[in-house]
C-alpha cells in the first residue's frame, strides 16, 4: 500500500526520504555522537599538547644553554636542571591565621635561598646579576613545565576513564591555557636579553624620579633616594637594577617609617595592574591601598605600618595584560610613566611644604638602572 502511495506521489516520496534521513542521522548521533565529539576534543587536546611539549622543551634547553655559558662544561647540568623543574613550595596552613604572614615569609625566603644555592652549585663563578637572571629563567621554565604536566594529566585521566566531561572541560579552557603558555614562552626572550618588561613600570617611574641622584641600599635588593620637590621631601624606593629582581619594598617602607619614628605624611605606590579585556594597554588608574602583587608578607608590612601611624596609602597603576607584564615593555606602557609622574605631582602638591612622602616604584627592575 505504501509502495503504491509512494509510486503515485513522487513529492511525498521525497519528503518521506528526507524525514527518514533525519531520523536515521539523529539515531546515529544519539548512539555515537559523544564518541565523534570526543574524537574531536582528543584531537584538539593532542595538538595543544604537542605545542606545549615543544615550548617546555625549548624553554628548558634555552635555560640550560644560558647557564652553561657561565657554568662551563658540566655533564650533569642538563639532568640537574630538568630535575629541579619539579621543585615546589608547600604553603603554610591557613586555618589558624595567627602568624601566617611570618610563616609564609620564612618559606618564601627559604625557597629563594634554596634556588640561589642550586644556581651557585651549577655555576660557582656566577655574578649576582647572573644569579638573578637564572632565577627568573628557571621560574619561566618551571611554569611551562607545570602547564604541560597539568594538561597531560587531565588528558590521560579523561582518556583512561573515557569521561567526556573531563575532556570537554579541558578542551574548553585550552585556548586560555595556550595564551598563558605562549606569554611565558615569549617572556624568555626578554629575560635572556635583559630587556625591561611591562611589570617594571613602577621601577621605571622611580628610576626617572631619582635619575642622577645619590641612593643607598636600604634592604636586600632595594634602594632608596631622597629628592626634593617644591619644598616637599620625597623618599623614592625601587628594586636595585638592572638585575631582574623585585626587591623587598614592604621591608624598605617599614624601615624608613621606623627610622623616621612614623613621621611620614603619605605613601604613593606605583605598580602594574591586570587590565580587563577591552581596556587600553598603558591606561592609568588611581586609587588607595597597597599596590603590590605580593604573596602577602611585603603587602602586610606596608599596610601594618601605614595603619599603625595613620599614613594615607595612595595607589597608581598602569593597566596591562599578562602578556604585556612579562614580555618586553610596550611603548604605551613606557609612555605611561610620564602620566604617572604627573599624578604623583598632583598628590604631592596637596601636602604643605615640609611634608615627607614615600614614593614606591613596585615591579621587576630588569634592565632598569638607578
Cell reading at 308: 599603625
Compute the distance between CA of residue 199 and CA of residue 286 in angstroms, rounded to an integer.
Answer: 17
Could you tell me the domains of the chain?
44-192 (no CATH), 198-361 (3.40.50.1470)
Q: Is the pLDDT of residue 7 over 70?
A: no
Of the candidates 134, 150, 127, 122, the one whose C-alpha atom is nearest the C-alpha of residue 53 is 150
The answer to whether the CB of 282 falls within 8 A of the CB of 274 is no
Q: What is the DSSP string of 295-350?
A: SSHHHHHHHHHHHHTT--EEEEEEEE-HHHHHSBPPHHHHHHHHHHHHHHHHHHTT
Compute the distance between CA of residue 137 and CA of residue 131 in angstroms, rounded to an integer.
Answer: 10
Stretch 158-171: mean pLDDT, rounded?
89
pLDDT in tens, 286-338: 999 999 988 889 999 999 999 999 999 999 999 999 999 999 999 999 999 99
pLDDT in tens, 90-141: 988 888 777 888 899 999 999 999 999 999 999 888 899 999 999 999 999 9
Amino acid at each position: 500500500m505504501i509502495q503504491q502511495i509512494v509510486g503515485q506521489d513522487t513529492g511525498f516520496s521525497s519528503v518521506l526520504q528526507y524525514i527518514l534521513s533525519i531520523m536515521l542521522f539523529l539515531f546515529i548521533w544519539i548512539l555515537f555522537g559523544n564518541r565523534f565529539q570526543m574524537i574531536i576534543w582528543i584531537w584538539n587536546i593532542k595538538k595543544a599538547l604537542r605545542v606545549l611539549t615543544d615550548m617546555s622543551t625549548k624553554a628548558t634547553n634555552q635555560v640550560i644553554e644560558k647557564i652553561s655559558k657561565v657554568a662551563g662544561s658540566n655533564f650533569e647540568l642538563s639532568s640537574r636542571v630538568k630535575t629541579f623543574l619539579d621543585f615546589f613550595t608547600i604553603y603554610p596552613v591557613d586555618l589558624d591565621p595567627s602568624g601566617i604572614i611570618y610563616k609564609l615569609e620564612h618559606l618564601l625566603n627559604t625557597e629563594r635561598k634554596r634556588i640561589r644555592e642550586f644556581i651557585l652549585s651549577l655555576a660557582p663563578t656566577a655574578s649576582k646579576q647572573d644569579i638573578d637572571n637564572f632565577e627568573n629563567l628557571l621560574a619561566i621554565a618551571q611554569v611551562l613545565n607545570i602547564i604541560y604536566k597539568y594538561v597531560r594529566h587531565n588528558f590521560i585521566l579523561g582518556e583512561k576513564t573515557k569521561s567526556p566531561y573531563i575532556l570537554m572541560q579541558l578542551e574548553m579552557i585550552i585556548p586560555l591555557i595556550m595564551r598563558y603558555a605562549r606569554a611565558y614562552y615569549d617572556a624568555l626572550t626578554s629575560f635572556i636579553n635583559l630587556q625591561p618588561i611591562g611589570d617594571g613600570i613602577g621601577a621605571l617611574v622611580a628610576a626617572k624620579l631619582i635619575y642622577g641622584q645619590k641612593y643607598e641600599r636600604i634592604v636586600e635588593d632595594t634602594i632608596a633616594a631622597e629628592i626634593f620637590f617644591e619644598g616637599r621631601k620625597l623618599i623614592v624606593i625601587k628594586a636595585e637594577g638592572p638585575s631582574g629582581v623585585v626587591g623587598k619594598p614592604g621591608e624598605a617602607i617599614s624601615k624608613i617609617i621606623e627610622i623616621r619614628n612614623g613621621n611620614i605624611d603619605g605613601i604613593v605606590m606605583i605598580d602594574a595592574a591586570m587590565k580587563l579585556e577591552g581596556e587600553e594597554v598603558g591606561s592609568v588608574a588611581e586609587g588607595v591601598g597597597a599596590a603590590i602583587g605580593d604573596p602577602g608578607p611585603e603587602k602586610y608590612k606596608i599596610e601594618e605600618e601605614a595603619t599603625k601611624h595613620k599614613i594615607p596609602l595612595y595607589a597608581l597603576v598602569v593597566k596591562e595584560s599578562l602578556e604585556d607584564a612579562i614580555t618586553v615593555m610596550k611603548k604605551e606602557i613606557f609612555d605611561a610613566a610620564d602620566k604617572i609622574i604627573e599624578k604623583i605631582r598632583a598628590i604631592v602638591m596637596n601636602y604643605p611644604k615640609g611634608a615627607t612622602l614615600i614614593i614606591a616604584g613596585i615591579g621587576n627592575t630588569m634592565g632598569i638602572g638607578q
